[in-house]
Structure 1
Amino acid sequence: MKSITSSANPMYKELKLLATSSQARRKAGRTLLDGVHLAQSYLQHVGLPALCVVSETALLNAEVASLLAQCEAGAVKCVVLPDPHYHVLSQVEHGVGLLFVIDTPKSVVPSALTQSAVLLDNLQDPGNLGSILRSAAAAGIKQVYCSGGTAFAWSPKVLRAGMGAHFLLEIFEGVDLAAVVAHARIPVLATSSYATQSVFQADLTGPVAWLFGHEGQGLAEDLLQLASQHVVIPHLGPMESLNVAAAAAICFFEQVRQTQK
């Protein structure tokens, strides 16, 4: 295990860029997993990381020591940092002191949409995106298509909110959603407060694609018009609408309910 004590160390500078710059993460094709849960999920569902980083204090943690041993057994480069240097990299307050550096997957968009999926148009909030990914994975959905204006799915904030869902999904970024919808071989459903059909009345027993938009502005009008069906989530209170992540979860699990009848 290599110890890095200087903030001028080239590897530490690279780590700092990955931790603080979305542009650097995209350019390098790498990102950071922060914490034991994400590290365990990655090892279980994907494999070994490109690099393992621990704080000096974390070396005393039994869970960290076990994960570190797995990495070392797989010939993964491991580095230890003084606690102050490590805390610069981590966005988790009172975290355990473990980071994985991983390569972000590069997935090729399928020629046609044939299985249940989620299509996200200009979704901005990392917490909402991560929550939607987590709900989609829990509902058995495998594919997520993100427009160019949607938050970077592999940012540390989205990864933390996703709680390991990323490793169970195919995530396509920078996608022309209009083209995906146009080539869909399954129904594409969009939620709309103006729809007359409830999501609970829609036939969700087969594969469907769910289309969700920007937190404040909603779906772009051209995408809304391309959808096969518009559905509404009925609610009793005077609130105008639901949070997009909450709306998505309701839709996904209504689909689960119908398919398990």
Structure 2
Amino acid sequence: MKRIASRDNAHFRALKQLCRSGRERRKSGRIVLDGMHLIESYVERFGPPDEIVVSEAGLGRAEIARCLEQRPGRAATVLADALFAELATVDTPSGIMAVAALPRGGRQPDPAADAVLLDGIQDPGNLGSILRTAAAAGFGQVLLSSDCAQAWSPKTLRAAMGAHFSLAIHENGDLPGFLAAYRGQSLVTAPDGAADLFTAELGRPVAWVFGSEGQGVRPEVSALAGQRLRIPMPGHAESLNVGAAAAVCLFETVRRRLTESARS
């Protein structure tokens, strides 16, 4: 195993660039997986990553030691704890990261399948949370507008907890074009929506549109959605966090479908 203790080390600088720069990730076609769960999720779907990076302290953890033992021959780098902390995405570092090939989505967005469209989501935590919810609710494709947070950043990956690897993620998506061609029901939430989420008809397939934390869905995108729905909020809050709103809407869709199946 290679050990690095200096910030001036070229390999450490390259790792830091990969963690911080979306441009570098796109250029190299590689991503950084922070934490054992993400690494295991990636391995289950795509096989071993290119490199394992651990902290000095992480070497003493049984789970990390087993991971290194199970992948002989794969590149492994040990960083001084202070250097590892500079790369970590959380206050309490996991002790292990991996550098892996960026999964390539080969197929185009499907206008006849369930979809989640995200318009200008800025916070990586919110984006990751929505991706995780979409995967859990069985929505297999997600389209992101060009001004969304980066889907493959370490923070977004960490928040999604492996959901990326079961989704078709389309960055820089043409949301208006997709909605114009969509062959199902498209829905957007709005405080002044004409219908109530819990009483409105929800079709198959369905495309849900969610907008940025501050401005919501852009008018030109919202105008192409087939229906505007409001989420009933009998309490005193004016709105929901976009991650919470997405969870409510996607799992209301799940609930309706389970109810329909039980009746048929």
| Distance in 2 (alpha carbons) for counterparts of 1:34 and 1:117 | 27
Match of 1:260 in 2: 258
2:155 maps to what in 1?
Answer: 157
Task: Map residues 66-215 of structure 1 onto 2, 5 A cutoff.
Answer: 66-72=66-72, 75-108=73-106, 110=108, 112-204=110-202, 206-215=204-213
Over aligned residue pairs, what C-alpha RMSD do you find? 1.6
TM-score normalised to the size of structure 1?
Answer: 0.93
On the 8 A contact 2:140/2:168 being kept in 1, the answer is yes
**C-alpha contact 2:19 2:153 (8 A) present in aligned 1:** no
Tell me the residue number matched to 2:262. none
Change (3 A) 1:126 1:233: same
1:174 counterpart SS class? coil
Alpha-carbon deviation of 1:240? 2.0
Structure 1 residue 204 displacement after superposition? 2.7
Q: Which whole-Å CA distance do the structure 1 matches of 2:109 and 2:5 have between them?
A: 49
Give the aligned residue type for 1:194: D
CA displacement, residues 46-66 of structure 1 (integer Å, 9 cap, x when unaligned):
321121111122111111112
Who is 1:24 aligned against? 24
Matched ranges for 1:212-251 at <5 A: 212-251=210-249
SS at match of 2:33: strand
Which moves more between the two structures, 79-88 or 148-157?
79-88
1:145 CA drift (Å): 0.4
Percent identical across equivalent pairs? 47
CA distance in 2, matches of 1:260, 1:93: 40
Amino acid of the residue matched to residue 42 of structure 1? Y
User: Residue type of the partner of 2:139?
Assistant: I
Equivalent in the alignment of 2:47: 47
* Aligned mates of 2:147, 2:70 — CA distance in 1: 38
| Residue 44 (structure 1) shift | 2.0
* Matched AA of 1:14: A
**One-letter identity of the residue aligned with 2:37:** H
Corresponding letter in the other structure for 1:247: A
Q: Does the CA-based 8 Å contact 1:132-1:245 persist in structure 2?
A: yes
Give the count of matched residue pairs. Answer: 259
Q: Distance in 2 between matches of 1:205 and 1:68?
A: 48
Deviation string 1:107-148 (CA, Å, 9 cap, x unpaired) is 245264111110001111111111101111111111110010
Q: Partners of 2:196 and 2:106 in 1: how far apart?
A: 34
* 4+ residue runs over 6 A deviation: none
Question: Is the Cα–Cα contact under 8 Å of residues 53 and 97 in structure 2 kept in the other structure?
Answer: yes
Query: Amino acid of the residue matched to residue 70 of structure 2?
Result: Q
The CA distance in 2 between the partners of 1:4 and 1:224, in whole Å, is 51
CA contact (8 A) 1:33 1:101 kept: yes
| Structure 2 CA distance for aligned equivalents of residues 35 and 196 of structure 1 | 44
Q: What SS does structure 2 have at the residue aligned with 1:260?
A: helix
Give 5+ residue unaligned stretches, structure 2: 260-264
Cα separation, partners in 2 of 1:111 and 1:162, compared to 1, 3 Å: closer
TM-score by length of 2: 0.92
> What amino acid sits opposite 1:89 in the alignment?
L
